[in-house]
Amino acid sequence: MIQSPTGVLFALVTVAAFFFYLEKSTGWKVFNLFPPLLFIYATPVLLNNLGIMPAESVVYTGMRDFGLPVFITLMLLSVDIGAAVRVMGKGVLVMLLGSVGVVVGGVVSFMVVHGWLAEDAWKGWGALAGSWIGGTGNMAAVAGALDTSPEQLGLAVLADNLVYVVWLPILLGSKAFAERFNRWTKVSDTRVAEMEKAALELHSNDSPPEMRDYLFLAFIAFGVTWLAAWIAPSLPEFPPVLSTSTWNLLLVTTFALALSFTPAREIAGSHNIAMAIIYIFVASMGARASMEGLGQAPAFVLGAFIWISIHGAFCLAGAWLFRVDVHSAAIASAANIGGAASAPVVAAYHKESLVPVAILMALIGYAIGNYLALLTARLAFWVAS
């Protein structure tokens, strides 16, 4: 029924906007368990399979070729690694070890379940690794770089949300074991107080964006997009993992992170614009999907639960090794698995003063997520081969 590019784009934006409006206006608890992302992906799947939206459109191609590098640039521009390290100290090392746990867990769990999955399931595994090291943006970025099928992305979104329902209460409930946990890790009594003091001194640029800020951001985003697209075709390919599109993602990620160490990081509004584009991109992936891949869901989800258990073991090992408190360990895991949406929730429950730095921890996940997720995908491909 909808064929024109304008109509398709309007439908995608409508779906994304509607579920965020519904979440804000109704306060339904279902959104605490299943965030809008799941519905934003699933609704276009349904519309496509009912014949209301097309499976192919220039809009989907445009979102992949232009929307993808633009939102990666804007998403990474606000990363402040130095501030997170100053406040969290060794807590950042726990998060990084948790990220290693995602890579290792991804490979081990894929070895267990890949026999029940499709041949290209390693691409869905890579997309899920992107989400669990960084966040939704990394999931979308890695899916685009690997040319992940919409069906595999759908399985990754489903597994991500089902595991989230179980993992978030565990992270929140860990607060009850703070005293025993801190004795086990032999954490210093002054560590939490020092973190809270450093967090209060953290500078935050909360000024609303002005018109010129949008122009500056457009200049940077399209400049990085053009430069990466110009360089990527000249680099060697090692298919199926390292293709021109993968090089493009890596170049955009690297350029954007380099810019985050410059005054460009202070330009207001970049993160919010990036997140808006991400959800439209996810909706466009859903619109291309069929429901044929749902038969793999049980094996995919089983692998995801094995995977998250290994990540948790790495976080516990990191907390013991680096003598880190339970609050930092929970925030570190949330910064990986839940990203910028969940890390502040966990921080607010454990120590409200750590909310700003929890966001910074999640941004570090954004920074390393694309690199490590592609590594996970490559290792999973070797397992499948």
* The pLDDT of residue 131: 94
Quote the pLDDT of residue 371: 95
Each domain of the chain, given as residue ranges in start order, spans 5-384
292 within 8 A of 50, measured Cβ to Cβ: no
Which parts of the chain sit beneath pLDDT 70? 189, 191-192, 196, 198-206, 292-293
Cβ-Cβ contacts under 8 Å for 195 (sequence gap 6 or more): 87, 88, 89, 91, 327, 328, 351, 353, 354, 357
**Residue 78 exposure: Cα atoms within 13 Å on the Cβ side:** 22
Q: Which pTM does this prediction carry?
A: 0.86
- Give me the pLDDT at residue 154, please: 92
SS3 assignment, position 378? helix
Q: Is 186 left (phi over 0), alpha (psi -120 to 50) or beta?
A: left
Question: What pLDDT score was predicted for residue 303?
Answer: 97
Task: Return the structure tokens found at 34.
Answer: 């299943």
Tokens of 62: 């445009």
Residue 350, pLDDT score: 87
Paired with 274 in beta bridges are none
For residue 87 the two structure tokens come to 């406040």
Report pLDDT for 207.
76
Residue among 108, 98, 148 nearest 128 (CA): 148
> Which parts of 176-296 fold into alpha helices (H)?
178-185, 191-200, 211-231, 244-259, 270-287
